[in-house]
Amino acid sequence: MNRQGIGAVLLFAGIVLYGMIHIGTIIHLPDVTIWFNQWGRYLQATFETGGVIGLILAILLFIIGVILLLPRPFSDLSKGRVMKEISERNREFDEKYGKIE
């Protein structure tokens, strides 16, 4: 399986896991008796249902999946390789088809 395939699987797994944790949290949300705390009622309900680890795992799977789906690493963008490649392709196009003015 290639990099994009693994990224798509991880992204989908993160979304499905987050959806399952979210449904359990929303069902338990009316039973939360704490109206004010540092994290809010949603995370309190997630903590009470035991979904904090699953929530963190879902977020990590989502982020890793998105990173794997990116076409190039971020280091290539910072070195200006992309802009150099764009200008090279623009020059090749101008040579082949002539400059449009």
Structure confidence by residue, pLDDT tens digits, 12-34: 999 999 999 999 999 998 888 87
Handedness of CA 26, 27, 30, 31 (dihedral sign): negative
Residue 60 pLDDT exceeds 90? yes
pLDDT-based confidence at residue 70 (cuts at 50, 70, 90): confident
pLDDT at position 98? 79
pLDDT at position 97? 85
Amino acid (one-letter) located at 33: T
Residue 78 pLDDT exceeds 70? no
